[in-house]
Structure 1
Amino acid sequence: MTAFGGFSQGGGQGPASEINMVPLIDVMLVLLIVFMITAPLLTHAVKIDLPQAASQPSEDKPETVALALDADGGLFWNDEPLPAEALGQRLREAAARSPQPELHLRADQGTRYQKLAEVMSLAREAGIGKMGFVTVPEP
């Protein structure tokens, strides 16, 4: 008996339970050929001669300068009171240091934006490259 049944008129036999393996083998052989062709392409690498670097990471962390502004317009340089006239000179001195310190601005909630903008402008004119704002998260 064949896999699809025969031409005989005898109806005494039950349905055939054989699986035709030829199409499955054909698919397997096609996949085998495809993988044999693509496998060498996946392992292809370009040989290049990379330069060797011999440097150590920098251990120097730039110091930070905390500049605080209170609601009345008072300035505090690292928690020490600072007259408004001396701010420009202090910022220029800080900008001239190597590595240049980071300026952390802390402002009271009641501080006028105009005062904060003036301080930021002075810092930019003095040459401060890194400036950030310090805030207190709400509980």
Structure 2
Amino acid sequence: MGMNTPSRNGGRTRGRPPMSEINVTPFVDVMLVLLIIFMVTAPLLVAGVPVNLPESRANALEQEQEPVQISIDRDGRIYLGEEELSRTALISRLGDIAASQNPENPRQIMLRGDTTLQYGLVMGVMGELNRVGLNRLSLVTGPVTSGSSEAP
């Protein structure tokens, strides 16, 4: 269309002269679609997991009701609030909490774990929480200190 090709009548064209412009509308449409795709997917590609989890600059969550506090100290002792419990007693108490909660507004669980704990112990407690149906779980972290090695 944009080229001047010889015709049967000796190079002369009948009717309209050859078109010398390129229609850029389809090109602009494709570029806008690609721009939208990149704008949507770019934030998803920047995902990272901080290595030093016990410190965070996150703001505190607003709570409608008092959350259930579960703490695990460096020796692996488990506390519900300030009461030390064995693992079997914790499972029983979590079942009671799950049975008494309102399904429309489930209880928030705040899990605190020492930085020196084994990952399996924390995951075991999280698994028990999930098993009894307490799924609104937050992992509590402390504020970032000035001498911390965590990247902002």
TM-score normalised by the chain length of structure 1: 0.54
Q: In 2, Cα distance between the equivalents of 1:69 and 1:105?
A: 8
The number of residues matched between the two structures is 80
Structure-to-structure mapping, 1:1-139, within 5 angstroms: 61-99=64-102, 100-139=106-145
- Is the contact between residue 65 and residue 103 of structure 1 (CA under 8 Å) also seen in structure 2? yes
Q: In 2, Cα distance between the equivalents of 1:106 and 1:131?
A: 11
Measured after TM superposition, the shift of residue 85 of structure 1 is: 1.5
Tell me the SS of whatever aligns to 1:138. coil
Bigger Rg, structure 1 or 2: 1
Q: In 2, Cα distance between the equivalents of 1:83 and 1:66?
A: 15
Counterpart residue identity of residue 94, structure 1: I
Measured after TM superposition, the shift of residue 64 of structure 1 is: 0.6
Measured after TM superposition, the shift of residue 71 of structure 1 is: 1.4
Counterpart residue identity of residue 117, structure 1: M
Tell me the SS of whatever aligns to 2:115. coil
Measured after TM superposition, the shift of residue 98 of structure 1 is: 2.8
- Is the contact between residue 71 and residue 112 of structure 1 (CA under 8 Å) also seen in structure 2? no
RCO higher in 1 or 2 (8 Å CA, sep ≥ 6)? 2
RMSD over aligned Cα atoms = 1.6
Q: In 2, Cα distance between the equivalents of 1:110 and 1:76?
A: 17
Gaps (5+ residues) in structure 1?
Answer: 1-59
TM-score normalised by the chain length of structure 2: 0.49
- Which runs of at least 4 in structure 1 moved beyond 6 Å after TM superposition? none
Measured after TM superposition, the shift of residue 104 of structure 1 is: 0.4
Instruction: Look up the match of 1:23.
Output: none
